[in-house]
Amino acid sequence: MIIITGGAGFIGSAMLWELNRRGNEDVIIVDDLGHTDNGKWRNLSGLHYSDFIPKDLFPSLLEKNALGNISAVIHMGANSSTTETDADHLLENNYGYSKKIASYCASQGVRLIYASSAATYGDGSNGYSDDITVIDRLRPLNMYGYSKQLFDRWALKNQVMENAAGLKFFNVYGPNEYHKGDMCSVASKAFRQIRDKGKVTLFKSHRSDYLDGEQLRDFVHVRDCTSVMAWLLDNPDVNGIFNIGFGSARSFNDLARATFSAMDCEPVIEYIPMPEILRDKYQYHTCADMDKLLSAGYARPFISLEEGITDYVRNYLGTPNPYLDANSQ
């Protein structure tokens, strides 16, 4: 049996789809669905799992060994808002909760795959290497990134990583992120802007070394993320912290143009001032160093930005039922 925390969320529900695609329905989903109007529950509609456990009940059930024979925990549950200002909430939800799960997995010899974040790299001045020897030099720009950094460091110092893999996700996009509101990917936002207004708005650059819209990100399709996680389940001897990105940086202009192309529209891009609150916390460049994962043996090619955006727009965003389901290919 596999447990997915945050299983109704973006990457969690996509991972459930990946497991279903592989014929595995013996999965317990752990999450907090919130209100019905956020649509989060729809991420599970059409997918198959054995049980659903509320997030707050899960740690106590683990402590009591009340869930049977667990082969792996895929811990995707977290507050992923990079603009969250409640530091205590992030500390408990992203750090304290993760420690409880990791401690159980370590004591029981259960495989753990958990979500870290590229937000731990801060402004990138210390590079984007997932080598653990540089982890203490990283300086996140927001509390979300810091909460992830805290757990990475704790896991390394407490022998958790002997049977675990932490994944530093870069800019993930794809189906099942619709509940995330302002935290959804730029690809999803661009589609809605083009559909509703015929144009895309991007932030102006406030640095002389970057033109407007030429801020760079490592965009990675959610199916590549779930492919890597499935591979890590099949290869439990591969442990440590790994970057999950495409491995090259592309501009927001590139992403906008790919979205216009997928919608058969001519590009119309407008640049707007970046809010003051974001300017000193904004990453102008991210790019995953993928050598460590590839050296560990992962060999499947990643989906290009143009291919991924075309798939997302034409097969999901532009359809009446945009969610992944068990019959999706």
Give me the active site residues, please: 144, 180
Q: Provide the residue type at 69 as one letter.
A: N
Q: What separation in angstroms does the CA of 295 have from each of 162, 166, 171, 217, 267?
A: 18, 16, 22, 23, 39
Q: What separation in angstroms does the CA of 51 have from each of 1, 41, 183, 212, 225?
A: 11, 14, 28, 48, 24
Q: Distance (Å, rounded) from C-alpha 309 to C-alpha 22?
A: 24
Q: Distance (Å, rounded) from C-alpha 265 to C-alpha 259?
A: 9
- Which candidate, 183, 114, 224, 174, places its Cα nearest to that of 324? 174
Q: What separation in angstroms does the CA of 214 have from each of 51, 176, 189, 190, 284?
A: 45, 27, 17, 15, 9
Q: Distance (Å, rounded) from C-alpha 169 to C-alpha 160?
A: 19
Q: Distance (Å, rounded) from C-alpha 19 to C-alpha 3?
A: 11
Q: Provide the residue type at 142 as one letter.
A: N
Angle, helices 305-312 vs 186-197, to 10°: value is: 60
Q: Provide the residue type at 51 as one letter.
A: D
- Structure tokens belonging to residue 120: 């731990």
- Which candidate, 310, 105, 303, 80, places its Cα nearest to that of 191? 310
